[in-house]
């Protein structure tokens, strides 16, 4: 049985960068699970890569079809945005391992849906470094939205509180000071998990 590895972390913790590094490492043979969202696409994002960008109408259709595993609603400074994980038929844990980026709520919903096949990988970065990274990323946007950046930054303190991490059983934590080193540490962890599975 394969594993579904969930990258978790606060905004600016480097989830997208680590995701790309791990996906580009062909020795891991990971397949991506891409979250769906109604939020606008950022300039550097590609539909179907970072997210599957959908309209609110498409979201309602998926919901009516019973395909939504979990859904989150965010009241942002630009309006209401939805993020969701969809059972779109692309995950088959009998055939391999998968990697996704999730919130803590999303991880818990996936754990409930897929059981012990879901493995959390929590990225940790000092708050000052996260804020700097977030500001640098926002500066690259055509219309930087620092209000939304601040909202996300502050909300993450509650969303990823130590209490919630413990309640969710988050035990695998990786320091992301240097992306290459962090990705390599996660790679070793994933390969070790694969070896444990081979022995069973």
User: Considering the chain, what is the average pLDDT of its residues?
Assistant: 93
Whether the predicted pLDDT of 163 surpasses 60? yes
pLDDT at 197: 60
Residue 19 and residue 8 in contact, taking contact as beta carbons nearer than 8 Å: no
Query: By three-state DSSP, how is residue 108 classified?
Result: helix
The answer on pLDDT for 15 being more than 90 is: yes
More confident residue, 111 or 148: 111
* CA distance to 45, 76, 95, 170, 172, per residue, from 161 (Å): 28, 20, 34, 11, 15
Tens of pLDDT along 66-119?
Answer: 999 999 998 887 899 999 999 999 999 999 999 999 999 999 999 999 999 999
- Is residue 199's pLDDT more than 50? no
pLDDT at residue 104, as a whole number? 94
Size (the chain), residues: 200
Q: CA 146 to CA 164: how far, in whole Å?
A: 27
- CA dihedral in degrees (142, 135, 11, 37; nearest 10)? -10
Per CATH, the homologous superfamily of domain 4-194 is: P-loop containing nucleotide triphosphate hydrolases (3.40.50.300)
- What pLDDT sits at residue 195? 67
pLDDT of residue 22: 98
Least confident of 16-25, 106-115, 142-151: 142-151
Spatial separation of the C-alpha atoms in residues 142 and 146, rounded to whole Å: 12
Give Cβ neighbours of residue 132 (< 8 Å, ≥ 6 apart): 12
Q: What average pLDDT score do residues 132-138 get?
A: 93
Domain boundaries, the chain: 4-194
| Beta-sheet strands, E only, within the chain | 4-8, 30-32, 36-37, 52-53, 68-76, 79-86, 97-101, 118-124, 173-175
Q: What angle do CA 89, 17, 42 make, to 5 degrees?
A: 75
Give per-residue pLDDT as tens, 182-198: 999 999 999 998 766 65
Percent of the chain having pLDDT more than 90? Answer: 84
- Determine what percent of the chain is predicted with pLDDT higher than 70: 97
DSSP labels, 40-75: PPPTT--BTTTBEE--HHHHHHHHHTT-EEEEEEEE
**What average pLDDT does range 129-153 have in this prediction?**
92
Query: Is the model's pLDDT at 50 over the cut of 90?
Result: no
Q: What is the mean pLDDT of residues 156-162?
A: 95
């Amino acid at each position: 049985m394969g594993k579904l590895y969930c990258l978790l972390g606060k905004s600016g913790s480097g989830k997208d960068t680590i995701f790309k590094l791990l996906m580009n490492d062909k020795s891991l043979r990971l397949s991506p699970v891409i979250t769906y969202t109604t939020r606008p696409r950022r300039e550097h994002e590609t539909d179907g890569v970072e997210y599957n960008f959908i309209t609110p109408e498409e979201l309602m259709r998926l919901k009516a079809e019973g395909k939504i595993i979990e859904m989150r609603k965010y009241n942002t400074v630009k309006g209401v945005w939805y993020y969701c994980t969809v059972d779109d038929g692309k995950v088959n844990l009998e055939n391999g391992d998968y990697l996704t980026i999730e919130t803590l709520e999303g991880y818990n919903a996936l754990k409930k849906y897929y059981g012990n096949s879901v493995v959390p990988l929590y990225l940790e970065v000092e708050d000052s470094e996260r804020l700097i990274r977030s500001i640098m990323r926002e500066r690259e946007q055509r219309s930087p939205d620092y209000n939304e950046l601040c909202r996300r930054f502050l909300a993450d303190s509650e969303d990823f509180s130590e209490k919630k991490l413990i309640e969710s059983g988050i035990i695998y934590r990786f320091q992301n000071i240097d992306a290459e080193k962090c990705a390599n540490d996660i790679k070793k962890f994933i390969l070790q998990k694969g070896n444990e599975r081979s022995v069973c």
